[in-house]
């Protein structure tokens, strides 16, 4: 099973709201990723967790706050976002150390109003 | 700046033809190479990975890697309209970072 699930599928939020995106995988993968993708652009890495510890933060603004409660779950907490943060947010996982084959979830389409 | 370059396309091929997608990368220490397919409005789907020089075949897909030329390609044989998508080339140096190319849009005409 190479499934990564993400909720919600769509999210509309105001600039003062607080919301969270959720990601889950049951493949036993030990690395999990958050990407942001704008239209007609490639995925842009935001965060990487390896063995439940934050390994990479690509200088993402603090209004995005990742959390990895356990090896299967990854959250992205959102607060005081800007309209330019509207994008497709993708979660991915890979088996172990090193960016091996990554499996993406379906994504959350976020609109900030 | 480590880069992965792809022709943005669109690449248009007739149904049944071979589609050839190309990618070059700048970092000589790159170790792992991937092709992802992304349909409009959907997430990327891994279709091929290749780690050593030469060809790797999987069904209608063949990935080719030439590390000396820093070049990786994807051939799609017997192209079908359902293959119409954006194909992302991705390269990793062995850490957790994967660098994605901007993608090539493929259009297969029925």
The predicted-structure confidence for A7-28, as pLDDT tens digits, reads as follows 999 999 999 999 999 999 999 9
Residues 6+ apart with CB under 8 A from A46: A33, A34, A35, A36, A57, A58, A60, A64, A66, A76
Q: Which residue from A minimizes the CA distance to B49?
A: A101
Of the residues B6, B33, B44, B94, the best mutation for testing chain A's interface (the one with the most A CB atoms within 10 Å of its CB) is B44
The predicted-structure confidence for A28-87, as pLDDT tens digits, reads as follows 999 999 999 999 999 999 999 999 999 999 999 999 999 999 999 999 999 999 999 999
| pLDDT higher than threshold 80 for residue A98 | no
Rounded to a whole number of angstroms, the distance from the CA of A26 to the nearest CA of chain B is 17
- Degrees to nearest 5, angle at CA B93 with A43 and A38: 5
What φ, ψ does residue B109 adopt, rounded to 5°? -90, 130
Partner residue facing A99 (CB), from B44, B96, B101 = B96
Q: Do A99 and B97 touch (CB under 8 A)?
A: yes
Under DSSP, the state recorded for A51 is: T
**Contact predicate A16/A69, CB 8 Å:** no
Q: How far is CA B27 from the centre of its chain?
A: 17
């Amino acid at each position: 099973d190479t499934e990564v699930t993400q909720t919600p599928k769509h999210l509309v939020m105001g600039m003062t709201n607080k919301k969270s995106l959720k990601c889950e995988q049951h493949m036993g993968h030990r690395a999990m990723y958050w990407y942001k993708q704008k239209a007609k652009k490639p995925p842009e890495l935001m965060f990487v967790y390896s063995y439940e510890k934050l390994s990479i933060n690509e200088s993402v603004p603090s209004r995005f706050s990742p959390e990895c409660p356990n090896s299967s779950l990854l959250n992205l907490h959102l607060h005081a976002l800007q309209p330019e943060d509207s994008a497709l947010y993708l979660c991915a996982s890979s088996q172990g150390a090193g960016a091996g084959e990554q499996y993406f979830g379906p994504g959350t389409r976020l609109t900030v109003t | 700046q480590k880069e992965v370059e792809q022709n943005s396309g669109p690449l248009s091929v007739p149904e049944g033809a071979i589609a050839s997608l190309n990618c070059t990368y700048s970092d000589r220490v790159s170790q792992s190479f991937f092709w992802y397919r992304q349909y409009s409005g959907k997430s990327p789907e891994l279709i091929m990975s290749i780690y050593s020089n030469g060809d790797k075949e999987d069904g209608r897909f063949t990935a080719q890697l030439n590390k000396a030329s820093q070049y990786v390609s994807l051939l799609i044989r017997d192209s079908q309209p359902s293959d119409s998508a954006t194909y992302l080339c991705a390269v990793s140096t062995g850490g957790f970072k994967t660098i994605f190319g901007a993608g090539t849009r493929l259009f297969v005409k029925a």
